[in-house]
Structure 1
Amino acid sequence: MYRIIGIGITLGFLLLVGCGATSQDDGNGYDEPEPCLFTNPVADGADPWIIKQDDTYYSIESRGGEIFVSETDDLIELDRNEQKVWTQPSTGWNRSNLWAPELHHIDGKWYVFYTAGDTDGSPFLKQRSGVLEAKTDDPQGEYEDKGMLYTGDNIEDQSNNKWAIDMTPLEHNGQLYAIWSGWEENEDTDRTPQHLYIAEMENPWTISSNRVQISSPDEDWEKSTELAINEGPEVLKNDEQTFVIYSASESWLPAYKLGQLQLVGDDPMNPDNWEKSGPVFQGTEEVHGVGHASFTTSPDGTEDWIAYHTKVSTEPGWDRVIHLQSFEWNEDGSPDFGTPVPAGETNSKPSGSCD
């Protein structure tokens, strides 16, 4: 099973963790949470990303033009031991609009994939994808900026780079690929449809082929009400099966949801080898705007977990929180995410958390 999940959020929201099935009176008239239980949301923020390395979870977030990495052995308490690892430059293509970093361990080194631009605030017309490489084997150490990745259609001269966000790597049959959300052409409005693309990589900071479109928001459930969007792709593997779980519709509306691509052929660069289905996870009357999910396992490795953000209300906007819950697998090997857990509902902590 795949062992990666991501978190690019502002952590430190109310955490209710605890062991048992009900709360107990602490003698002062207040209920204390039982150990081994927790309630959602576990954090305030969006675009969760965590990676599990051995027995340690590393989470990553951006705020105030800086990137931070935290370290913990508890999947529910992700804001421990935070360290700043990178600050945006004051000039250049990546000086502003820092979004959704992801932390990856590739060929024995740590890398951060991030989105940034050179304009202040909206409209977000200049967003591109970049990569940081750790200077040591410590994911909380210093990083070197390896620069902007080429996400266009002219790999030979790398001219006319194209808008790109939410990049994530895929390793398949010994080849490294990049998958991201992008525009067909650069536009003068950010209300532009977004598609999913893939390209081969020579190494984690160099794309070596022209991009190929593997998903376009052409289903009714992807188009929603205002803008057709595919974004936030994340790789999920189950034994020999490879999936890309992505977000569809508008992140600022309750209709935000998850779709799925499954690799059904050997070559990920062939669009016909990606089979779409969905929605595979969506909101309810109690949970709104489910999206930008990522995945990990419990401390003892026996359970699979999904992290995702939700909107705090049905009003348009980006006021969001993070939820965690376990998920299962269907008989055909595809993920079964179930129904999003409402805020305030008590859940068992990940297996191995209370040993």
Structure 2
Amino acid sequence: MLLKFIITLSSVFLFFGCSKSEELPKDEIKETFTNPVWNGADPWMLKQGDNYIYCFSINNGIAVSRSKLLTERNTAEYIWRAPASGWNKACVWAPEIHFIDGHWYVYYAAGESGPPFVHQRTGVLRSKTDDVFSDYVDMGMLNTGDDPTDISKNIWAIDMTVFEHQGKLYAIWSGWLEQMDTDATPQHLFIQEMENPYTLKGKRVLLSSPEKSWETGGPLNLNEGPEVLKHDDQVFIVYSCRESWLKEYRQGMLQLNSPNADPVDPLSWTKKGPVFEGNNSVYGVGHVSFVKSPDGTEDWIIYHSKKSTESGWDRDVRMQPFNWNTDGTPHFGKAIQAGEPLNRPSGEVEIEQNQTK
């Protein structure tokens, strides 16, 4: 009985001792992270206020997540699923979400069938409110062809992005010179002014073709995935070239020659590259987006890379900081290998510390 009593008292002491939460060790908040951050491809992220909005395609639909942390993607919610019939019922690719005049607009590529992927066109969704998780209205297909009056003559188009410059809105996308019956067709970058966020204005203009030695040489020459990067009064278009399914996939750049240059004039842009590419440890870097760190002091590039050197589209998402050259152009540096510790984006640790208080 005495032994039993002693054991019982010990159990009670241990129970109450462990019940005091302030005496338990708290989980350590890590100050570093490693790539890759998650699976996926064609990463599109933007920062609105204190939130990072991440938009991606999944299971023939489009999903969005919102997080205070750049390196942590919260649970995502579907904002749109492809219809059972119509021009956009299949092959939903590379959506981007932009906040314009109080609404969220999503630009995405889709087709009526595939492969072969010869039916891809660009569509637009618009949120009903300023909440990124609100209901969305399908605003239809954009006319990315050469005849603004006849959408039946529309031409293949993917990877659309939009940007504002000098009070005007512009769209840039990857497309074909003419509609073809094979997806083994070279891709070019086109630009066009917009009448509003869901209507193109005038005619498309050929902005860039794969012609430099560093954007050619494989089985299919591509310019795709254009993304706009601004710094002070300079404007850049960073785009993907070479083949998306090969380890040689890389980034080129167009630089607007001056702040007052006409973006729709191809002569207003100077091509440079490659500005970011893979190496012996990181393969096929592509389809980038850009955000500031939580405290706004750092610039980060978000991109996908191939998981192996084998041909295909098995990819994951990575991120790393970049800086600027003395002439104001971006310096992306070397693609950092998986598993190498990186300091978390500036201000992120403090946010997590406040969340745990």
- Normalising by structure 1, we get a TM-score of 0.89
In structure 2, distance between residues paired with 1:164 and 1:66:
18
Deviations 1:22-55 (A, max 9, x none): xxxxxxxxxx986111000001111001111100
**One-letter amino acid of the counterpart of residue 298, structure 2:** E
Please name the residue that 1:24 is paired with. Answer: none
Please name the residue that 1:87 is paired with. Answer: 81
Asked if 1:354 is matched to 2:349, the reply is yes
Please name the residue that 1:287 is paired with. Answer: 282
In structure 2, distance between residues paired with 1:234 and 1:86:
23
Aligned counterpart for 1:273 among listed residues 268, 273, 276: 268
Structure 2 SS opposite 1:354: helix
Deviations 1:150-169 (A, max 9, x none): 10111134451110000000
In structure 2, distance between residues paired with 1:298 and 1:131:
28
**One-letter amino acid of the counterpart of residue 110, structure 1:** W
In structure 2, distance between residues paired with 1:192 and 1:34:
49
Asked if 1:186 is matched to 2:179, the reply is yes
Deviations 1:200-228 (A, max 9, x none): 11001100111001100001111132111
Asked if 1:148 is matched to 2:128, the reply is no
**One-letter amino acid of the counterpart of residue 344, structure 2:** K
Asked if 1:63 is matched to 2:63, the reply is no
Aligned counterpart for 1:51 among listed residues 13, 23, 46: 46
Asked if 1:241 is matched to 2:251, the reply is no
Offset of residue 140 of structure 1: 1.2
Please name the residue that 1:122 is paired with. Answer: 115
- Answer 1 or 2: which has greater helix percent: 2
Please name the residue that 1:6 is paired with. Answer: none
Asked if 1:104 is matched to 2:101, the reply is no
Unaligned runs of 5+ in 1: 1-31
Larger displacement relative to structure 2 (157-166 or 107-116): 157-166
Deviations 1:95-140 (A, max 9, x none): 0000011010012211101000001x31100000010000111111
Deviations 1:241-291 (A, max 9, x none): 000000000000000000000111421110100110000001111111011
Kept in 2, the 8 Å contact 1:39–1:347? The answer is yes
Please name the residue that 2:315 is paired with. Answer: 320
Q: Structure 1 residue runs of 4+, over 4 Å off?
A: none
In structure 2, distance between residues paired with 1:33 and 1:162:
53
In structure 2, distance between residues paired with 1:270 and 1:169:
16
**One-letter amino acid of the counterpart of residue 87, structure 2:** W
In structure 1, distance between residues paired with 2:125 and 2:206:
25
Structure 1 SS opposite 2:338: coil
Alignment length (residue pairs): 322
Asked if 1:135 is matched to 2:128, the reply is yes
In our comparison, the structure showing a higher alpha carbon Rg is: 2
In structure 2, distance between residues paired with 1:303 and 1:288:
25
Offset of residue 188 of structure 1: 1.0
Asked if 1:196 is matched to 2:189, the reply is yes
- Normalising by structure 2, we get a TM-score of 0.88
Please name the residue that 2:4 is paired with. Answer: none
Asked if 1:216 is matched to 2:203, the reply is no
